[in-house]
């Protein structure tokens, strides 16, 4: 991959110094969904697919971006003095946003760059392709602009800022953090209230992690995501009138029961209940995994799905059908919708011996019930962003 990308880079940008090559992965999340903007825990891991980039400094101050995934968009070229968001720049707005964010945070970007990207993250799955593109761009800036003090966590935070303020989506810290900090054979138990984390070993010699693409396009996901965020914020404010907490992630299920009547609306109450119980499930799941109780871990994944469906209402018919069909198969330890929801994919932990049956039966029954053809990916954990 490295040599191919370098050759392509030299073909597109011309001979000269050999470019550096960089990689940032995609991510999956085992449990802890819609907790990362509620100060709760998440338990994601980086995977082996991701975004590769070759990059080299220019002698002028232009930013030139080309993606092998979007050749129809051609070269996206901007001057460092004008990196404003432009509709016509399409995918190129993501890296532009990262450069702009670094500059607005006082990082010295002392010249232009040529960058060539290639990503092998399947599209539309919701497994962190935009954060992967942002983090790899951040890593290029750190390396080529000699930003010695910049850590991978800083890159993750700047990527989130670019996504929130430049692109305008309100996503949390889970994706860029995991993509920057991932570690092969480990998942990250991250406390999003203060970014403290531990790497939990995730060796599953007898099981596979299978991502199933529902092929349901996620519609109005940003709007509905923002609505959930503001419902949680409002519920938190109501609870803060009786209890000193900074976020919903600080509550145990028991304490929540005692104070929940302060939430003056049944929908908000369900949203907050999900944020609280999902965080507790995540903590329990990591404990279970440490003890090797993988069945218990799977049960918690299943409970996570029900809570996302009933209390948080971010699932959809297609995701529910995929999960129901998965639960029906012996050897499936856990299965749930993953990511923002309203379409996208599910994550399942399946015993090796049941993997083929899982793929054929879930696939057939899903097609019978929805007319859609699911896609299956057996994923491997991988490392976070790195210079190759
Ligand atoms: C999206 C966001 C994440 C997180 C998940 C839900 O993937 O990018 O920050 O909020 O939804 O857990």
- With cut-offs at 50, 70 and 90, classify the pLDDT of residue 124: confident
Phi/psi region, residue 32 (left: phi>0; alpha: psi -120 to 50; beta: rest), is left
Ligand 1 center from residue 333 Cα (angstroms): 23
pLDDT of 359 reads 98
Q: Chain-wide mean pLDDT for the chain?
A: 97
- With cut-offs at 50, 70 and 90, classify the pLDDT of residue 125: confident
Cα–Cα dist 36/232, whole Å:
12
Q: What is the pLDDT of residues 349-366, one digit of tens each?
A: 999 999 999 999 999 999
State which of 31, 125, 161, 174 you would mutate to test the pocket of ligand 1, scoring each by most atoms of that ligand within 8 A of its C-beta: 174
Question: Is it the case that residue 220 has pLDDT exceeding 80?
Answer: no
Q: Is the CB of 36 under 6 A from ligand 1?
A: yes
Q: Is the CB of 34 under 6 A from ligand 1?
A: yes
- Of all protein residues, the one whose alpha carbon is nearest to atom 1 of ligand 1 is 340
Q: Which residue matches tokens 């871990």?
A: 297
Average pLDDT over residues 243-269: 97
State which of 41, 169, 224, 225 you would mutate to test the pocket of ligand 1, scoring each by most atoms of that ligand within 8 A of its C-beta: 225
pLDDT of 145 reads 98
Ligand 1 center from residue 91 Cα (angstroms): 19
- With cut-offs at 50, 70 and 90, classify the pLDDT of residue 122: confident
Q: Is the CB of 339 under 6 A from ligand 1?
A: yes
Q: Is the CB of 172 under 6 A from ligand 1?
A: yes
Q: Where are the alpha helices (DSSP H) in the chain?
A: 2-13, 93-104, 129-144, 152-161, 174-181, 221-239, 253-259, 266-290, 294-310, 317-327, 355-370
Q: What is the pLDDT of residues 75-86, one digit of tens each?
A: 999 999 999 999
Q: Is the CB of 175 under 6 A from ligand 1?
A: yes
Ligand 1 center from residue 31 Cα (angstroms): 11
- Of all protein residues, the one whose alpha carbon is nearest to atom 9 of ligand 1 is 172
- With cut-offs at 50, 70 and 90, classify the pLDDT of residue 219: confident
Question: Is it the case that residue 170 has pLDDT exceeding 90?
Answer: no
Average pLDDT over residues 317-341: 98
- With cut-offs at 50, 70 and 90, classify the pLDDT of residue 192: very high
Q: Is the CB of 38 under 6 A from ligand 1?
A: no
Instruction: Return the structure tokens found at 179.
Output: 């993509």
Q: Is the CB of 279 under 6 A from ligand 1?
A: no
Please choose, from the candidates 162, 177, 271, the residue with its C-alpha nearest in 3D space to the C-alpha of residue 224: 271
CA 34 to ligand 1: nearest atom: 12
Q: What is the pLDDT of residues 24-81, one digit of tens each?
A: 999 999 999 999 999 999 999 999 999 999 999 999 999 999 999 999 999 999 999 9
User: CB within 8 A of 190, min separation 6: which ones?
Assistant: 36, 41, 42, 43, 44, 173, 174, 177, 178, 196, 197
SS3 sequence of 178-211: HHHHCCCCEEEEEECCCCEEEEEECCCCCEEEEE
- With cut-offs at 50, 70 and 90, classify the pLDDT of residue 5: very high
Residue 19's CB: how many other CB atoms inside 10 A?
22
- With cut-offs at 50, 70 and 90, classify the pLDDT of residue 221: confident
Average pLDDT over residues 247-258: 98
pLDDT of 327 reads 98
Cα–Cα dist 152/158, whole Å:
10
- Of all protein residues, the one whose alpha carbon is nearest to atom 11 of ligand 1 is 340
Q: Is the CB of 138 under 6 A from ligand 1?
A: no
Question: Is it the case that residue 203 has pLDDT exceeding 90?
Answer: no
- Biggest CA pair distance of the chain: 68
- Of all protein residues, the one whose alpha carbon is nearest to atom 2 of ligand 1 is 171
- With cut-offs at 50, 70 and 90, classify the pLDDT of residue 154: very high
Altogether, the residues listed in the chain come to a count of 388
Ligand 1 center from residue 126 Cα (angstroms): 9
Q: Is the CB of 161 under 6 A from ligand 1?
A: no
CA 126 to ligand 1: nearest atom: 7
Q: Is the CB of 350 under 6 A from ligand 1?
A: no
pLDDT of 123 reads 79
CA 340 to ligand 1: nearest atom: 11
Q: Is the CB of 171 under 6 A from ligand 1?
A: yes
Q: Which residue matches tokens 């697919």?
A: 49
Average pLDDT over residues 373-386: 97
Pairing of strands 62-67, 76-79: antiparallel
Instruction: Return the structure tokens found at 256.
Output: 């929540």
CA 32 to ligand 1: nearest atom: 12
- With cut-offs at 50, 70 and 90, classify the pLDDT of residue 218: confident
Query: Which residues are identified as catalytic?
Result: 175
Ligand 1 center from residue 192 Cα (angstroms): 12
H helix or E strand, kind and range, residue 351: strand 345-351
CA 169 to ligand 1: nearest atom: 8
pLDDT of 375 reads 97
């Amino acid at each position: 991959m490295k040599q191919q990308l370098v050759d392509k880079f030299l073909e597109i940008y011309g001979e000269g110094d050999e470019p550096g090559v960089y990689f940032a992965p995609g991510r999956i999340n085992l449990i802890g969904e819609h907790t990362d903007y509620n100060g709760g825990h998440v338990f994601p891991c980086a995977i082996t697919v991701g975004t590769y980039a070759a990059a080299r400094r220019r002698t002028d101050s232009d930013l030139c971006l080309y993606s092998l995934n979007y050749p129809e968009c051609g070269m996206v070229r901007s001057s460092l003095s004008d990196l404003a968001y432009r509709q016509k720049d399409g995918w190129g707005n993501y890296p532009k946003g990262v450069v702009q964010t670094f500059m607005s945070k006082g990082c010295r970007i002392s010249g232009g760059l040529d960058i060539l990207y290639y990503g092998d993250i399947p599209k539309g799955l919701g497994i962190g392709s935009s954060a992967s593109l942002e983090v790899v761009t951040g890593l290029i800036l750190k390396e080529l602009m000699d930003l010695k003090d910049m850590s991978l966590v800083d890159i993750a935070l700047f990527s989130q800022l670019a996504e929130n303020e430049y692109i305008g989506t309100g996503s949390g810290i889970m994706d860029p953090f995991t993509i920057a900090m991932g570690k092969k054979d480990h998942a990250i138990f991250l406390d999003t209230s203060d970014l403290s984390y531990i790497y939990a070993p995730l060796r599953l010699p007898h099981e596979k992690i299978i991502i199933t693409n529902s092929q349901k396009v996620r519609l109005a996901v940003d709007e509905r995501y923002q609505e959930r965020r503001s419902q949680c914020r409002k519920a938190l404010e109501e609870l803060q009138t009786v209890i000193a907490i900074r976020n919903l992630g600080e509550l145990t299920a028991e304490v929540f029961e005692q104070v929940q009547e302060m939430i003056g609306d049944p929908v908000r109450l369900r949203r907050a209940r999900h944020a609280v119980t999902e965080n507790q499930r995540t903590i329990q799941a990591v404990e279970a995994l440490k003890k090797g109780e993988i069945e218990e871990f799977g049960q918690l994944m299943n409970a996570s799905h029900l809570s996302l469906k009933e209390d948080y209402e971010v699932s959809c018919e297609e995701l529910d059908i995929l999960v129901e069909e998965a639960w029906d198969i012996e050897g499936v330890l856990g299965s749930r919708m993953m990511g923002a929801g309203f379409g996208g994919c599910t994550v399942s932990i399946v015993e090796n011996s049941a993997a083929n049956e899982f793929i054929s039966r879930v696939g057939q029954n899903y097609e019978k019930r929805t007319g859609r053809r699911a896609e299956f990916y057996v994923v491997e954990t991988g490392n976070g962003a790195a210079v190759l």
